[in-house]
């Protein structure tokens, strides 16, 4: 079967790519005409009227006829929200002495000859009056919530009309909350938690499901897509976020449209597209710990009406906030990263478009600085000859005796993180009566090197300290083809084919004072899938969706263990070749009811799948031989989406129950004088919970946001490889309660705008091991705040900001080694000033 797939694949790709480029003799651009009575989402910055009208035309899908002389010297204020096209244009033209009239359904003529001054009259109108004053229009319309557009179902849709649990982070929050990576997203989304061994080894959990084993033949449970391109390895996920249109977080298994490993959910990151007129931005930030950040982008036409381009750059640099008693002059837990992205958009003709994307990022970081926080097992002390004396002391005793604290570590070995990521992708899209054909071809590569003093103990004190060293190279090629039906009609569908090739070479070493153990893994993965999803409108209010994905996957891994000195963590030398293949069928069913324009109910049943693999750092040949089975889940979900108070209040609720089988669980089992890693399949686990999100805009300029998640995630039956029974225990990184609250306020001030924002985040207590009696991460609260002044013409702004304003000491990552717990602490209070210049 595999030979047939591999043999036919190149021919299949060539044929379908040719169809994308040439098919469609009788074609049309569907959806180009927009009726006047349909609300659209507008986001137009303060700028000259001429360019604002260009933005309006593009966002309303309308043609505008206006003399250039009539717009000269006029600047308009920012417009953001969901409006009828007529109302949005009234707001833009307020105070300009310009009027307009429709010529057909999609063309507007603007002229001073059409200007009609609004008669003086009270704001409350009688039934026969249809003229609204500009003041009333602004007050009523600007107080409504913005429409949020998502691509969760592989087509652009209003978030409130999509029957799936999805959250969206837009540029205002990305900018004001200084969201730079996936860790900044965590705790702002119900059910999502993120912590990290390092920037290249994050542990991401959604609704209690995630991945902790980073072996070369093991996969993530939460998948990340950058501009529709799957990011395969855990070492690549926690990349820099910059110049983004939005971040979508889709909760629950998404196997049908997002493929293997989206068993816990998916994260879609969409970067900004090139613009059809010249725009740009430069931003600089100064802050404590010698912070200096720089961000810039420029966008515009390269060939008029044919080729658009965009170039963006981002760098972050600050000193570390932690020192070590044994490493004078070294500041640990720093930031030093830069990234760039380029995009080209070529309009081949009216129906065919080609997008070319390229990105590159570089990280060069200091040590992380582990802290020993809980001591259960005695640690052997060393004598003057460097040999164990037989005496013992707890790690916490050693730590406090040497003067250590959260800001002052006692590690004696200097670590580092060195990572390079780059990617190239192309999107070829062709539209016609048949809908849209889309081809996405991508190549990505990551080089990752990391060294950490994993116990945070000095070499001169004990021989039971260990350094972890990883060198990994990962490359991937992916090809996706989609056929997306037109938006019109009772039946809508998405059909597609997907291929992924991955090559991962990972060398991981455990370095003790008198010994070193190394595991070398080289894995190749080939994954093929066909998928489809169709939605049928049974009535105007009730729709039924059915979809499925068939996946076939192979893995071939060669691994070698090498031990020098005493045998610890890795207990045997061996060389082994592992091979495996898996086939999966994941269906999806959804029934939705649009009770009214503002209220939707839905129920769904879906299956998720995470592929099988092999042990990440097996201690023995026997353990390495054991194949890790795929894990699967059936998810049952009921959702409610609503908007109230004339679109001023949005409330979304979802309740879910997930039934997992063969859940993949990695543990560090204390054994002998230290311990070993082992990954096994838990027999079963049940997850159930409720998630709530709301947005309230009571008056223009004032908004409240929030989310809450309740989660009950336990093992139904789980005996690990050594026979220990963890049945009934809570899954790792699954806090029972999480809460996010935010307030935003803006008002006119001295010919400009003042903006204020405050965020509160709470994450409850969670466990880091299936044995819930060890490695417990306490709950924590974080508060962020910002204040900004924006010029009237939107040409510049200044922002004062603070993260972790109350200087909370909290554990961001925790694990057990040798029976004792070692932690990384979160960043203390940081603050700064950001200046932005737009043009």
**pLDDT per residue as tens digits for the range 641-692:** 999 998 899 999 999 999 999 888 877 766 555 667 778 787 789 999 999 9
User: What local confidence, expressed as pLDDT, does residue 64 receive?
Assistant: 83
User: How large is the angle between the packed helices 85-93 and 134-142, nearest 10 degrees?
Assistant: 120
One CATH from 3.30.950.10, 2.60.40.10, 3.40.50.1860, 2.40.170.20 for 271-510+541-573+588-838: 2.40.170.20
Tokens of 497: 């084919």
538-585 pLDDT per residue, tens = 999 999 999 999 999 999 999 999 988 777 788 888 999 999 999 999
pLDDT of 742 > 50? The answer is yes
424-466 pLDDT per residue, tens = 999 999 998 889 999 999 999 999 999 998 888 777 666 667 8
Tokens of 482: 């989609």
With beta carbons less than 8 A apart as the criterion, state whether 330 and 323 touch.
Answer: yes
Alpha-carbon distances, residue 824 vs 373, 395, 462, 839 (angstroms): 10, 15, 20, 42
Beta strand 322-324 pairing with 408-409: parallel
With beta carbons less than 8 A apart as the criterion, state whether 592 and 601 touch.
Answer: yes
pLDDT of 152 > 50? The answer is yes
pLDDT of 708 > 90? The answer is yes
155-192 pLDDT per residue, tens = 777 788 888 999 999 888 888 888 988 888 888 898 89
Which position has the higher pLDDT, 105 or 130?
105
User: What local confidence, expressed as pLDDT, does residue 316 receive?
Assistant: 96
For the ranges 56-60, 142-146, 637-641, the lowest mean pLDDT is seen at 142-146
For the ranges 242-256, 725-739, 808-822, the lowest mean pLDDT is seen at 808-822
Class of domain 147-270: mainly beta
pLDDT of 601 > 60? The answer is yes
DSSP per residue over 568-592, as a string? -S----EEEEEEEEEEEEEEEEEEE
Token pair 């799948």 is found at 609
With beta carbons less than 8 A apart as the criterion, state whether 80 and 148 touch.
Answer: no
Highest-scoring range by mean pLDDT, 83-87, 88-92, 402-406: 88-92
Q: How confident is the model at residue 399 (pLDDT cuts 50, 70, 90)?
A: low
Token pair 């290249």 is found at 200
User: What local confidence, expressed as pLDDT, does residue 16 receive?
Assistant: 41
pLDDT of 71 > 90? The answer is no
pLDDT of 773 > 80? The answer is no
With CA atoms as reference, report the closest residue to 176 among 648, 789, 832, 788. Answer: 788
Domain ranges of the chain: 39-118+131-142, 147-270, 271-510+541-573+588-838
Q: How confident is the model at residue 798 (pLDDT cuts 50, 70, 90)?
A: very high
Q: Do domains 39-118+131-142 and 271-510+541-573+588-838 have the same CATH topology?
A: no
pTM of the predicted model as reported, rounded to 2 decimal places: 0.81
Residue environment code for 758-789, b if the CB has 16+ CB neighbours within 10 A, otherwise e: bbbbbbbebbbbbbbebbebeebebbbbbbbe
CA angle 472, 474, 480 (to 5 degrees): 160
With CA atoms as reference, report the closest residue to 472 among 519, 517, 527, 526. Answer: 519
Taking residue 328's Cβ as centre, other Cβ atoms within 10 Å add up to 7
Q: How confident is the model at residue 43 (pLDDT cuts 50, 70, 90)?
A: confident
Average pLDDT over residues 246-255: 88
Tokens of 185: 């997203």
Beta strands per DSSP E along 455-541: 467-484, 491-512, 515-537
**Taking the domain 39-118+131-142, which CATH number applies?**
3.55.50.30
State the Cα–Cα distance between residues 502 and 524, nearest whole angstrom: 6
- Classified as helix, coil or strand, 305 is coil
Share of the chain above pLDDT 70, in %: 85
User: What local confidence, expressed as pLDDT, does residue 721 receive?
Assistant: 65
Tokens of 223: 């998948």
């Amino acid at each position: 079967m595999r030979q047939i797939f591999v043999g036919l694949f190149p021919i299949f790709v060539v044929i379908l790519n040719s169809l994308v480029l040439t098919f469609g003799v009788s074609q049309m651009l569907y959806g180009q005409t927009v009726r006047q009575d349909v609300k659209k989402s507008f986001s137009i910055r303060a700028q000259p009227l001429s360019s604002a009208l260009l933005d309006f035309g593009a966002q309303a899908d309308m043609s505008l006829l206006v003399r250039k002389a009539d717009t000269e010297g006029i600047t308009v204020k920012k417009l953001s929200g969901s409006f009828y096209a007529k109302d949005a244009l009234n707001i833009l033209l307020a105070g300009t002495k310009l009027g307009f009239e429709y010529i057909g359904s999609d063309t507007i003529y603007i002229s001073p000859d059409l200007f009609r001054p609004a008669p003086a009259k009270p704001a409350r109108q009688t039934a026969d009056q249809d003229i609204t004053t500009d003041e009333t229009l602004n007050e009523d319309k600007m107080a409504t919530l913005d429409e949020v557009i998502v691509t969760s179902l592989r087509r652009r849709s209003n978030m409130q009309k999509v029957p799936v649990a999805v959250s969206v982070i837009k540029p205002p929050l990305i900018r004001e909350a200084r969201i730079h990576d996936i860790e900044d997203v965590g705790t702002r989304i119900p059910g999502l938690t993120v912590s990290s061994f390092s920037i290249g080894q994050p542990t991401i959990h959604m609704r209690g499901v995630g991945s902790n084993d980073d072996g070369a033949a093991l996969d993530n449970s939460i998948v990340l897509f950058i501009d529709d391109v799957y990011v395969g390895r855990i070492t690549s996920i926690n990349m820099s976020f910059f110049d983004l249109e939005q971040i979508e977080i889709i909760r629950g298994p998404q196997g049908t449209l997002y493929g293997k490993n989206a068993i816990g959910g998916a994260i879609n990151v969409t970067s900004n597209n090139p613009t059809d007129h010249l725009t740009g931005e430069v931003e600089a930030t100064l802050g404590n710990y010698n912070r200096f950040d720089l961000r810039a982008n420029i966008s515009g036409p390269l060939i008029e009406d044919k080729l658009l381009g965009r170039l963006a750059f981002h760098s972050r640099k600050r000193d570390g906030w932690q020192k070590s008693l044994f490493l004078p002059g070294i500041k640990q837990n720093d930031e030093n990263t830069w990234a760039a992205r380029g995009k080209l958009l070529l309009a081949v003709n009216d129906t065919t478009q080609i997008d070319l994307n390229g990105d590159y990022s570089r990280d060069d970081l200091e040590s992380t600085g582990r802290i020993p926080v809980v001591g259960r097992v005695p640690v052997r002390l060393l004598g003057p000859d460097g040999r164990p004396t037989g005496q013992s002391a707890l790690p916490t005793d050693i730590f406090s005796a040497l003067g250590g604290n959260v800001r002052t570590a006692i590690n004696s070995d200097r670590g580092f993180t060195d990572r390079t990521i780059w990617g190239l992708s192309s999107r070829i899209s062709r539209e016609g009566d048949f809908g849209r054909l889309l081809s996405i071809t991508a190549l990505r590569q990551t080089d990752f090197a990391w060294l950490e003093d994993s116990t945070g103990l000095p070499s001169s004190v004990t021989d039971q300290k260990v350094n972890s060293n990883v060198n990994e190279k990962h490359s991937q090629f992916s090809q996706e083809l989609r056929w997306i039906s037109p938006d019109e009609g009772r039946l809508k569908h998405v059909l597609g084919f997907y291929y992924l090739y991955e090559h991962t070479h990972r060398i991981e070493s455990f370095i003790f004072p008198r010994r070193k153990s190394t595991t070398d893994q080289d894995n190749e993965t080939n994954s093929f899938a066909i998928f489809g999803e169709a939605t049928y409108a049974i009535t105007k209010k009730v729709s039924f969706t059915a979809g499925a994905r068939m996946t076939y996957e192979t893995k071939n891994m060669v691994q070698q263990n090498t031990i020098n000195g005493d045998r610890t963590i890795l207990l045997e030398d061996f060389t082994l070749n592992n091979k495996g293949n898996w086939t999966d069928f994941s269906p999806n069913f959804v029934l939705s009811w649009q009770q009214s324009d503002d209220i939707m109910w839905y129920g769904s049943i879906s299956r998720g799948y995470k592929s099988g693999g092999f042990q990440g750092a097996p201690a023995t040949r026997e353990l390495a031989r054991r194949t890790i089975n795929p894990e699967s889940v059936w998810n049952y979900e009921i959702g409610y989406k609503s908007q109230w108070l004339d679109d001023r209040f949005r409330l979304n609720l979802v309740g879910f129950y997930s039934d997992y089988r063969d859940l993949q669980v990695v543990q560090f089992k204390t054994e002998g004088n230290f311990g070993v890693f082992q990954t096994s399949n838990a027999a079963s686990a049940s997850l159930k919970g409720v998630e709530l999100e709301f947005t309230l805009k009571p008056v223009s300029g004032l908004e409240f946001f929030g989310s809450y998640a309740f989660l009950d995630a336990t093992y139904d039956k789980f005996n690990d490889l050594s026979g220990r029974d963890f049945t009934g225990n809570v899954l790792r990184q699954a806090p029972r309660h999480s809460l996010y609250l935010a307030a935003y306020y803006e008002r006119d001030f001295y010919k400009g705008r003042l903006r204020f924002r405050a965020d509160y985040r709470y994450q409850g207590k969670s466990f880091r091991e299936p044995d819930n009696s060890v490695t417990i991460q306490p709950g924590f609260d974080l508060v962020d705040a910002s204040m900004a002044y924006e010029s009237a013409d939107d040409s510049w702004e200044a922002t004062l900001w603070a993260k972790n304003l109350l200087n909370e000491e909290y554990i961001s990552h925790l694990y057990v080694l040798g029976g004792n717990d070692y932690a990384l602490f979160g960043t203390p209070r940081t603050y700064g000033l950001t200046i932005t210049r737009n043009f």
